[in-house]
Amino acid sequence: MQIKKSINLIIIYLIIAVFFIILCSNYSSGDFFWTPLRSIYIFKTRNLWDYENLKSLINSTIHNDSIKLFPIAFEIIGLKFTNNWEPRISLLLGLISWFLNIYLFFRIVLENFKLNNKYQNILALILLISFSGPPYFFYRFTTVFALIKTIPSLCLIYSTQILFKKDKFINGRQLILLSIFCCIAQFSYSWGSILWITTYCVLFIKNRVLKRKYLNSSKLLIFTFIGTLSTTIYISIFNFSTLYSLYIKNNISTNLKDFSSSLKNFYSFLSTYSMSYLGGLDSYSKSFPRCLFDTDIVNFTDCGVNKLYINFSMIIFSLFLFFLSIQIIKLKKKKLLARFISESAPFIYIAINTSSLVIANIFLRSHYHSPPRYFVESTLFSASLILITLISLNICKFNFFKLFIMILIFLSSFINFLNINIYTFKSLNNDPIGDPQFLNQIKCIRNAPEYKKNYEYLYNNCEFWKTNKYFQKESKFSHPFIKIKNVDSYTKKVFSVLRK
């Protein structure tokens, strides 16, 4: 009882500490200056009962490779409390939704592992510090508009709970919920569209295996129709030229030397992606990380991530794959592979959905650099890999592999526990994490005299160009999607959205 009480107190302390760090630190803008700023301006200044205005609002939610309709809807709800876009509310929304991700993921774990109260508390503590301890967690959640990452993850976890519940039957209400979650994920972030396909595959396979005990064929057809309709609408709205240009620019070369280099860089990226909760090995670094994963293992001049972390991740992941291969061979020999797949199915489902980003990175992003936008999914992915392994070890003993996993869990928990305390101490000593540049610009915009709300003031006094390099009358920078055609018109939007 005393151990349980102590763990609960530590959990409460960590949650308070993380909230304090995020809400008292500086924050950065990310791509806020483009999305959702345009959408919020339309919502504030136009009558949305007019079809053309509503169409403009929907088009304004398109950014790069995504239609961010639902995350923007939640950001707009915050306007009801402040009458302007408030960065702190945006940070709070992202953080609360991430804690909800942790809680729901924890619930799925408990449904697959029979644990007493003491071990349940220990597991809750491990998940909390693994999900909120790496430096990249603080990078992601001190960047406004984090909802674009957490909403699809929530939809994925909610769908997992429905698809793999103990009673093997999907009723009409649950099918509607699955459709809603898939639709929200699709219109929140690019990888959300994968959820339609993977969910359909699970429904189809279980329907074939369990016949009408799981889902009758007519309901499966209804789900297929809704998914097709949603995807058709998505395709009709979305402009794929950005994706096409990224593919052409970053396509893998067929030259043997370039191809082998791409494979090396991809494996480096996959290793760090798979071990993201171990991202605290540079916790004592003086400069806060500006990158999540950098697959160029030679040059780290632009990142706080050190070479030790990349190399260590590659070694750990290689050993993990080696041991897992041996374990699967053992399961197959003992004819326990089918049981293993059945019991670990929820985590395999989560891992498949979140690994889509790794595959997309090969074709659409630079092979040498991947920014912090990948943090949320990589944590769900890496935690799922560990849980898949633990399920296999419960079915078939492999003591050396079990020891390896336990050391990995302990190491990541210890490092990330230190990280939370280090960053709390920094915040208490007025050395908050994040970039104060955007925060200072917000203050400048809100203090601007009425007659100074113009481009010159925003550019020179507030130095808005430092966080938005495209905010110039004759911009030298090119972006496939961000186009500020009229700086005066854009200035009006900035003041309207951000000013009190």
In Å, how far are 64, 469, 472 from 483, measured between CA atoms? 12, 11, 11
Would you state the pLDDT for residue 436? 86
Say how many CA atoms lie within 13 Å of 391 toward its Cβ. Answer: 25
Indicate the residue type of 246.
L
Over the chain (500 residues), what is each successive 10-residue block's mean pLDDT?
86 94 88 90 90 91 90 89 88 95 95 86 92 85 91 96 87 93 95 95 86 80 95 90 73 73 80 79 52 49 61 90 96 94 95 88 65 76 95 94 95 90 87 84 92 92 89 78 87 89
Long-range contacts of 241-246 (CB under 8 A, 24+ apart): 241/480, 242/64, 242/65, 242/480, 242/481, 243/65, 243/364, 245/480, 246/65, 246/363, 246/364, 246/365, 246/480
| 50 DSSP assignment | S
pLDDT of 288: 54
Cis peptide, bond prior to residue 87, ω within 30 of zero = no
The pLDDT, as a whole number, for residue 188 is 95
Using DSSP, state whether 231 is helix, strand or coil.
Answer: helix
Count other C-beta atoms under 10 Å from residue 490's C-beta. Answer: 21
Q: For residue 232, how many other CB atoms are within 10 A of its CB?
A: 10
413, 388, 412, 414: which is closest to 401 by C-alpha?
388
Distance CA 287, CA 279 (A): 15
Query: How far, in Å, CA of 442 to CA of 86, rounded?
Result: 10
- Which helix (DSSP H) or strand (DSSP E) does residue 66 occupy? strand 66-67
* CA–CA dist 184, 195 (Å, integer): 10
Cβ neighbour number for residue 204 with a 10 Å cutoff: 15
Q: Which residues of 39-66 are buried (b: 16+ CB within 10 A; e: fewer)?
A: bbbbbeeeeeeeeeeeeebbebbbbbbb
